[in-house]
Amino acid sequence: MLLEGRHFRRDWSSGYDIGRKAAAQNLSDIVAMGAEPTGIVVGLGLPADAATDWLDRLTDGFRDECELVGAGVAGGDITRCDIVVIGVTALGDLGGRAPVTRSGARPGDVVAVAGRLGYAAAGLALFREGLNGPPELLEAHRRPRPPYARGPEAAVLGATAMLDVSDGLLQDLGHVAEASGVGMMLDPELFMIHYVMRDAGRLLGVDPLEWVLTGGDDHALVATFPEDVRLPPGWSVVGMVTEGDGVQVRGVSLDRAGWDHFRE
């Protein structure tokens, strides 16, 4: 579910951007279980001031994001509402494989990520400050780019646990650690931080590693794999699964672990 004013603003994002974002957020959950997306169903609440051309662009966004993975918009429902509200149900096919869940990580596994981390959080910070920063970051807030192909690939490679990063890497890995009954140790030196992130960090006085570790909405994938699995390009090892519980970052202390929907 996406709510205007919480997940997007119409003065920051076009209807097309919002449609792409809403579809991407849900399709990424399908690939994060190792499945191939097949379609989405959309529930839509619209205020009276939503123009017809804006709605057309919104639905174009749904369609075009689904086409990236060979899926379609199967249907939905619409009603009047005070703000724009979008509820999406995504469907997928495992092709006979078992789903990759959060509960299979084991001590000795490696932790690996695919896709961008921190870009959307940096873009949101720039928008909030009214700054015209690197366009890659502003665009990342408007429209995530999940690494769709990496999810089914990870399942075939033998991933023991996986999920998409929607609420921040530390927060979401914490769910894996809890479900699997393990701990995790991340190495900050293993994260590749692009120069545009460093530029934005200097502009805003923020260590970009904080965005990487705690920023949500990029919908990267994070998975655990047996140590002897040879990972293909697109995956980067960033840590290890350990005995114990919780997620730690070697040599780093952070006040917040990520986004919590019910925390002030």
At 8-44, the pLDDT tens digits run 999 999 999 999 999 999 999 999 999 999 999 999 9
**Residue numbers belonging to the annotated binding site:** 7, 29, 76-77, 102, 164, 166-167, 217, 259
Run of H or E including 169: helix 169-180
- Looking at residue 262, its pLDDT comes to 41
**pLDDT above 60 for 256:** no
What mean pLDDT, rounded, does the chain reach? 94
Which residue from 26, 152, 176, 178 is spatially nearest to 97, judged by alpha carbons? 152
Task: Write out the two tokens for 178.
Answer: 């809890």
pTM for the predicted model, two decimal places: 0.92
**Residue numbers belonging to the annotated binding site for Mg(2+):** 29, 77, 164, 167
Q: Read off the pLDDT of each residue in 167-173 and give the average, rounded to a whole number.
A: 95
What is the spatial distance between Cα 203 and Cα 132, in angstroms, rounded to a whole number?
10
**Residue numbers belonging to the annotated binding site for substrate:** 7, 217, 259
Q: Read off the pLDDT of each residue in 89-100 and give the average, rounded to a whole number.
A: 96
Q: In 3-state terms, what secondary structure has residue 240?
A: strand
Going by the DSSP 8-state scheme, the letter that residue 8 receives in this structure is B
At 30-81, the pLDDT tens digits run 999 999 999 999 999 999 988 899 999 999 999 999 999 999 999 999 999 9
**Residue numbers belonging to the annotated binding site for ATP:** 76-77, 102, 166
257 band by pLDDT with thresholds 50, 70 and 90: low
Query: What domains are there in the chain, each with its CATH number?
Result: 2-93 (3.30.1330.10), 110-249 (3.90.650.10)
